[in-house]
């Protein structure tokens, strides 16, 4: 009997101890999750796929901001253009509907036309030249100036050089004549294609594949990672290395959201954006190579242009300089000498 009572007491005590430990863990977890509840949950728009360098840069940015604000600011990345096309995203950001994005300068220049000067065809002699300009006083000044349009420029991301790719080979300027060419939603890019003899058609990025597949356009233009990751190489089998533009990309924040943050959080966001850009630029170099390899392995034809032919392309687009940046000739000269 005594033995039985002993067992019963031991079991009862064990149950009480287990319940107490459980309650402690429960309250501890709850207390902890309460402490970590973010003050801000902000969305970030990206139109590339998940493993693309700019998306990975965005993930790094979000991770750094979360860490450095002790979990107070949580940024959620929405890739694959889930939040809309770049122009739709920019419009929403001007009114605070979306907090962050990474966009192509071609699109931001539609609302901040002074940016066009940084994407003029054949402006930079190579990638290093472009980075000297963007990392220097000119790049900083242009980042600051975007704020007048309800957008805060945070950092520059790499997007390499853009080339034409097509369903029939482009070996010379003559081959481009009369081709329907997809361009971004950018007046300057449309005029550039007209100057080269093509018929520009503005089509959003997500629809380029079907436009090529259905024969709505014969040609598009982009860097190697976009050509590969969007599978355009399956439908446009000729890639001509004319390197007509280097269009940088920007990480941006809505000014409406920015103005709600205190100065120290603004500084953290700025610093994290710049730190994430270093990673993106590194990933970019690798992805350019692997994307080219993937496309080449699939049997596409890569066309190199002679120096003389490239100069013909360059001369053909010179009218764009005057039309879009006639009042920024001093900046152009400065960039060219940088």
The answer to whether 65 and 269 are in contact (CB under 8 A) is: yes
Residue of 43, 44, 45, 47 interacting with ligand GCU (CB under 6 A): 47
Q: Which of 160, 206, 166, 186 is nearest to 48 (CA)?
A: 206
Minimum Å distance from CB 102 to ligand GCU?
A: 7
Distance from chain centroid for Cα 58: 9
Nearer to ligand GCU, 139 or 160 (CB): 160
- Name residues whose C-beta falls within 8 Å of residue 92's C-beta, 6 or more positions apart in sequence: 83, 84, 98
Under the criterion CB under 6 A, does residue 245 sit at the interface with ligand GCU? no
For the chain, state the CA radius of gyration.
26
Under the criterion CB under 6 A, does residue 104 sit at the interface with ligand GCU? yes
Two tokens, residue 268: 């953290």
Under the criterion CB under 6 A, does residue 284 sit at the interface with ligand GCU? no
Nearer to ligand GCU, 155 or 226 (CB): 226
Question: Would you call 62 exposed, middle or buried from its count of C-beta atoms within 10 A (0-12, 13-18, 19+)?
Answer: buried
Q: Is the dihedral of CA 99, 148, 111, 144 positive or negative?
A: negative
Nearer to ligand GCU, 238 or 284 (CB): 284
Residues 182-221 that bind ligand GCU (CB under 6 A): 184, 205
Nearer to ligand GCU, 146 or 222 (CB): 222
Minimum Å distance from CB 63 to ligand GCU?
A: 21
∠ CA(253), CA(256), CA(259), 5° rounding?
A: 90
Minimum Å distance from CB 39 to ligand GCU?
A: 30
How many Cβ atoms sit within 10 Å of the Cβ of residue 51?
A: 11
Nearer to ligand GCU, 82 or 327 (CB): 82
Give me the helices (H) in 95-136, please. 105-108, 127-135
Residue of 226, 251, 254, 328 interacting with ligand GCU (CB under 6 A): 226
Residue of 116, 119, 149, 222 interacting with ligand GCU (CB under 6 A): 222
Minimum Å distance from CB 109 to ligand GCU?
A: 13
> Whole-angstrom Cα distance, residue 189 to residue 182?
10
> Whole-angstrom Cα distance, residue 56 to residue 200?
32
Binding track over 154-183 against ligand GCU, x by CB under 6 A: -----x------------------------
Residues 7-46 that bind ligand GCU (CB under 6 A): none
Nearer to ligand GCU, 64 or 87 (CB): 87
Binding track over 60-89 against ligand GCU, x by CB under 6 A: --------------------------x---
* Maximum Cα–Cα distance across the chain: 106
> Whole-angstrom Cα distance, residue 197 to residue 110?
23
Nearer to ligand GCU, 99 or 328 (CB): 99
Minimum Å distance from CB 54 to ligand GCU?
A: 6
* Binding site residues, ligand GCU, CB under 6 A: 47, 86, 104, 159, 184, 205, 222, 226, 249
């Amino acid at each position: 009997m005594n033995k039985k009572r002993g067992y019963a007491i031991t079991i009862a005590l064990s149950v009480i101890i287990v319940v107490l430990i459980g309650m402690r863990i429960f309250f501890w977890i709850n207390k902890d999750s309460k402490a970590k509840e973010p003050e801000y949950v902000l969305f970030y728009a990206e139109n590339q796929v998940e493993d693309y360098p700019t998306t990975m840069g965005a993930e790094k940015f979000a991770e750094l901001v979360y860490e450095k604000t002790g979990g107070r600011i949580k940024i959620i990345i929405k890739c694959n253009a889930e939040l809309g096309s770049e122009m739709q995203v920019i419009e929403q950001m001007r009114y605070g509907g979306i907090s962050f994005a990474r966009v192509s300068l071609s699109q931001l220049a539609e609302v901040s036309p002074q940016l066009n000067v940084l994407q003029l065809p054949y402006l930079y002699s190579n990638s290093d030249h472009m980075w000297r300009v963007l990392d220097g006083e000119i790049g900083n000044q242009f980042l600051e100036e975007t704020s007048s349009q309800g957008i805060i420029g945070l950092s520059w991301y790499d997007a390499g050089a853009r080339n034409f790719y097509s369903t029939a080979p482009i070996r010379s300027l003559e081959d481009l004549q009369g081709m329907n060419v997809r361009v971004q939603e950018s007046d300057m890019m449309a005029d550039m294609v007209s100057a080269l003899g093509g018929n520009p058609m503005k089509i959003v990025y997500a629809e380029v594949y079907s436009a090529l597949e259905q024969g709505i356009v014969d040609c598009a233009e982009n860097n190697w990672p976009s050509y590969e990751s969007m599978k355009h190489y399956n439908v446009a089998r000729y890639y001509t290395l004319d390197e007509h533009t280097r269009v940088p990309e920007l990480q941006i924040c809505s000014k409406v959201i920015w103005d709600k943050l205190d100065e120290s959080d603004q500084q953290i966001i700025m610093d994290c954006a710049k730190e994430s850009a270093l990673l993106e630029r590194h990933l970019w170099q690798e992805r350019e190579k692997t994307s080219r390899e993937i496309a080449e392995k699939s049997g596409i034809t890569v066309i190199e242009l002679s120096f003389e032919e490239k100069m013909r392309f360059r001369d053909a687009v010179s009218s764009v300089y005057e039309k879009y940046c006639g009042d920024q000739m001093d900046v152009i000269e400065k960039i060219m000498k940088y």
